[in-house]
Structure 1
Amino acid sequence: MPVIFLIIIGAAAGFLATRIMDLHTDVPTTIAIGVAGALIGGLLLRFIAMIGGLAFGFVGAVLGAILLIWLWQRYSGRS
């Protein structure tokens, strides 16, 4: 089932991409372009999300540490 879904999505994506880029190809080439584009785009977006996730995790950790230091200074009586 996932292979059929990939071919259907690939065909739609290939059709849209070839129309946007004004490229006239036959149906198998359009499907191949769409499937290959889906694989490349999926990998690229996963990589960007992973890097973004790591960066956002680091920013969250720094903000959490700053909040903890502020609370500690505020309520422990130390400056």
Structure 2
Amino acid sequence: MPIITFLIIGTAAGYLATRLMKVNTDIPTTIALGVFGALIGGFLLRFLISIMGMMAGFVGAVLGAMALIWVWQTWGRR
């Protein structure tokens, strides 16, 4: 996946994940959560990607970002 596409999908996933989890973050944090969440979700859902294509990649990116937000809220921000 080209880096620009990866950043766009990660940014969209971070935005969607922060809205779904009702977290107010600044733009760089939202982008970082989305991009790193996309990495996590991409590795965890590789099988799903092979079956469903790019939509599965987006679903994996959103789920990965949501997991990262949960970890960040649970252990990071105190």
Q: Shorter-normalised TM-score: what interval?
A: 0.5 to 0.7
Q: Where do residues 20-35 of structure 1 align in structure 2 (5 Å cutoff)?
A: 20-35=20-35
- TM-score normalised by length of structure 1: 0.55
Q: Where do residues 1-79 of structure 1 align in structure 2 (5 Å cutoff)?
A: 2-46=2-46, 49=47
Residue by residue over 1:37-79, the C-alpha shift from the partner in whole angstroms, topping out at 9 and shown as x without a partner, is 1110110012xx3xxxxxxxxxxxxxxxxxxxxxxxxxxxxxx
Superposition CA RMSD, Å:
1.9
Q: Could you say which structure has the larger radius of gyration? A: 1
Fraction of identical pairs, as percent: 68
What is the one-letter code of the residue matched to 1:15? Y
Q: Which runs of 4+ in 1 moved over 3 A?
A: none
Question: Higher RCO, 1 or 2 (CA under 8 Å, sep at least 6)?
Answer: 2
Unaligned stretches of 5+ residues in structure 1 = 50-79
Unaligned stretches of 5+ residues in structure 2 = 48-78
What CA distance in whole angstroms lies between the structure 1 residues aligned with 2:2 and 2:20? 26
Count of aligned positions: 48
Residue by residue over 1:19-45, the C-alpha shift from the partner in whole angstroms, topping out at 9 and shown as x without a partner, is 000000111110110011111011001
What is the one-letter code of the residue matched to 1:7? L
What CA distance in whole angstroms lies between the structure 2 residues aligned with 1:7 and 1:38? 9
What is the one-letter code of the residue matched to 1:42? G
SS at match of 1:25: coil
